[in-house]
Amino acid sequence: MSAMQVRAGSVDLLTSPPDVMRPLKRVPAPSGICPQPRKTRNAPARMQEKRNPLPSSPENLERGRQLYYKDARPTECKLCHGIHGNGNGRLAPGLDPAPRNFTCSELMKTISDGQLFWIITHGSRGTAMPSHKGTLTETEIWQLIHFIRGFAE
């Protein structure tokens, strides 16, 4: 399975046979680099300025955690971004560019809530980041953003 197959959506990460889902050769992914060089498409200006409208409450953080580790569809975030948010997930070694390293506070402070919302909603062309439009509600995306931001603290 190539990174292009993952990007193109030809592998169902939830129901694929175990041999498709097994980790590739275990080598550290370059995603642990901080900050990561990236040319991600920018969200429209109106989205760039948007701030998370939800409070960073224990309930919102818990729901964000559930989405990150288990409930997000088409795939849970941890598979690519890793259980520690450093971009070293199970699928990361086969992806180019590497998944975003959420633990890099230097980088994360430069990414607006609106930009994160836009990427989670629409995906990121040229990467394996899928669109979650129609699979996550706006509230769930904002909850996920609260949780993701916690990796850089």
* Confidence bin at 147 (pLDDT 50/70/90): very high
Average pLDDT of the chain is: 82
Whether the predicted pLDDT of 47 surpasses 70:
yes
Q: What 8-state DSSP symbol labels residue 78? A: H
* Confidence bin at 50 (pLDDT 50/70/90): very high
Query: Could you give the CA distance from residue 2 to residue 14 in angstroms, rounded to a whole number?
Result: 17
pLDDT digits (tens, 9 = 90+) for 32-44: 678 777 677 889 9
- The CA-to-CA distance between both ends of the chain, in Å, stands at 35
By the 10 Å C-beta count (0-12 exposed, 13-18 middle, 19+ buried), 71 is classed as middle
Query: Cβ neighbours of residue 19 under 8 Å, at least 6 residues apart?
Result: none
Whether the predicted pLDDT of 8 surpasses 70:
no
Whether the predicted pLDDT of 5 surpasses 60:
no
pLDDT digits (tens, 9 = 90+) for 73-108: 888 999 999 999 999 999 999 899 989 999 999 999
CATH code, 3-7+43-152: 1.10.760.10
Query: Could you give the CA distance from residue 85 to residue 20 in angstroms, rounded to a whole number?
Result: 23
Domain definitions of the chain by residue range: 3-7+43-152
Instruction: Specify the range with the lowest mean pLDDT, choosing from 40-44, 46-50, 95-99, 142-146.
Output: 40-44
Query: Which value, in Å, is the radius of gyration of the alpha carbons in the chain?
Result: 15
**pTM of the model as a whole:** 0.77
